[in-house]
């Protein structure tokens, strides 16, 4: 049990959730003006050219290092790089990172918010209160056993917070990590002599003729 509760005593658990919430702040602001389905599609399209800007990798790397790992920007750790994009491979990985962060951030924030509403509704239903609007699910009546579902909702919410944080951190190390070496993939710079030797082994075994 103490091992299961250990993540909730770490600051990085909550900064990871904050990192996911930050990803959806700017498209969510438009929802206060007009609630339309294409807001999230437009946000994803907007991230495509943004990911091609070299300096964007520095910004994302700095946020990820501070909020996902709890390390300073000047840390010696090579897991998440704080540097501009140096190649098209870096730009491509950054575009994927921005889209994945938006997707996971949207899913996590909506799910956690609905679970919080559900927890309040279950407690209110057990005490005879009315459920709030926008509940995740609706239980009719005000039965005492509704409160027994409250721990289940809290456990699911806790697992969502920890699981989504670990997932986005693993993806950050993968997509914001060091650039692949210049000789990658390895067969691109393979010496031609080794290939020719494999193709024509008989040339090295032909006996010389002496006169």
User: Which has the closest alpha carbon to 168: 98, 89, 72, 85?
Assistant: 98
Flag whether pLDDT at 133 surpasses 60.
Answer: no
Angle between helices 54-68 and 11-22 (to 10 degrees): 150
195 domain residue, yes or no: no
CA atoms of 199 and 105, how far apart (whole Å) = 53
- Asked if residue 32 is part of any domain, the answer here is yes
pLDDT score of 68 more than 70 = yes
Domain hosting residue 90, numbered range: 11-178
Position 1 in a domain = no
CA atoms within 13 A on the CB side of 90: 23
For the entire predicted model, the pTM comes to: 0.77
Is the per-residue pLDDT at 114 higher than 80? yes
Domain total of the chain: 1
pLDDT per position as a tens digit, 28-37:
888 777 778 7
What dihedral do alpha carbons 35, 36, 41, 45 form, nearest 10°?
-80
Q: What is the pLDDT averaged over residues 153-175?
A: 94
Region 51-68 average pLDDT: 94
CA atoms within 13 A on the CB side of 117: 15
Instruction: Quickly state the pLDDT bin for 194 (edges 50, 70, 90).
Output: very low
- Determine, yes or no, domain membership for 204: no
Q: What distance separates the 2 farthest-apart alpha carbons in the chain?
A: 112
Mean pLDDT of the chain: 79
Gap between the Cα atoms of 63 and 16, Å rounded: 10
- pLDDT category at 138 given cuts 50, 70, 90 is low
67 or 135: whose pLDDT is higher?
Answer: 67
In a domain, 188, yes or no: no
DSSP string, 15-82: HHHHHHHHTTHHHHHHHTT---THHHHHHHHHHHHHTTSHHHHHHHHHHHHHHHS---TT----SS--
127 or 154, greater pLDDT:
154
**Is the pLDDT score of 192 beyond 50?**
no
Lowest mean pLDDT, pick from 30-39, 90-99, 176-185: 176-185
pLDDT for position 76 = 62
Is 72 part of a structural domain of the chain? yes
**Does residue 191 register a pLDDT over 70?**
no
Q: What is the pLDDT of residue 204?
A: 41
In a domain, 206, yes or no: no
Domain-located, residue 198: no
């Amino acid at each position: 049990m103490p091992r299961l509760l250990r993540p909730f005593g770490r600051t990085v658990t909550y900064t990871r959730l904050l990192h996911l919430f930050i990803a959806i702040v700017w498209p969510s602001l438009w929802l206060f003006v007009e609630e339309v389905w294409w807001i999230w599609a437009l946000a994803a399209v907007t991230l495509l050219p943004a990911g091609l800007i070299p300096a964007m990798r520095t910004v994302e790397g700095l946020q990820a290092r501070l909020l996902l790992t709890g390390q300073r920007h000047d840390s010696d750790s090579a897991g998440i790089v704080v540097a501009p994009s140096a190649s098209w491979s870096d730009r491509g990985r950054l575009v994927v990172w921005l889209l994945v962060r938006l997707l996971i951030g949207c899913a996590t924030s909506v799910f956690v918010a609905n679970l919080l509403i559900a927890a309040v509704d279950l407690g209110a239903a057990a005490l005879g209160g009315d459920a709030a609007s926008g509940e995740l699910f609706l239980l009719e009546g005000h039965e005492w056993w509704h409160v027994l579902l409250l721990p289940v909702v809290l456990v699911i919410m806790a697992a969502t917070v920890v699981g989504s944080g670990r997932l986005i951190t693993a993806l950050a190390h993968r997509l914001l990590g060091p650039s692949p070496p210049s000789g990658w993939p390895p067969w691109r710079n393979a010496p031609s002599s080794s290939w020719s030797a494999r193709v024509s082994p008989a040339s090295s075994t032909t006996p010389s003729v002496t006169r």
